[in-house]
Amino acid sequence: MNDCIFCQIVEGKIPAYKIYEDKNFLAFLDIFPYVEGHILVIPKKHYRWVWDVDNIGGYFEAVKRVAKHLQQVSNNKLVYSTIFGEAVPHAHVHLLPAINQTDIDQILKHIKRKTKLTEEKGIGLVEKLKLTS
């Protein structure tokens, strides 16, 4: 889909801070993160809704793999996952690490406002969070 920003990321037309990639799925940092380490996991093929993904089991295996990795590198078991997203019409799952109550409060506050991820912060987080095959 030409006008879908996530499809353009998959095609390499728009840069992203990639955390994980395989043949069918891609995980990258949200450019407007709710908390540090906020990751989006998407199917590479365009689907409007998560529930439309043909290989939904494979999709959630990829989500699980990234979430488990996030637990390890953040040294915390609390990783929120949410499925909402009217802003981008492409299936996506949010993974939100929360280390403490301040992070949880920040997640809830940020839903109302968006602060853009800086390039410096994005590059640093990719080095910290990147999951290798």
How do the domains of the chain map onto residue ranges?
5-129
Catalytic residues: 92
CA separation for the pair 36, 33 (Å, rounded): 6
CATH topology for the 5-129 domain: HIT family, subunit A (3.30.428)
pLDDT tens column, 10-47? 999 999 999 999 999 999 999 988 888 999 999 999 99
If you average pLDDT over residues 82-92, what whole number do you get?
A: 87
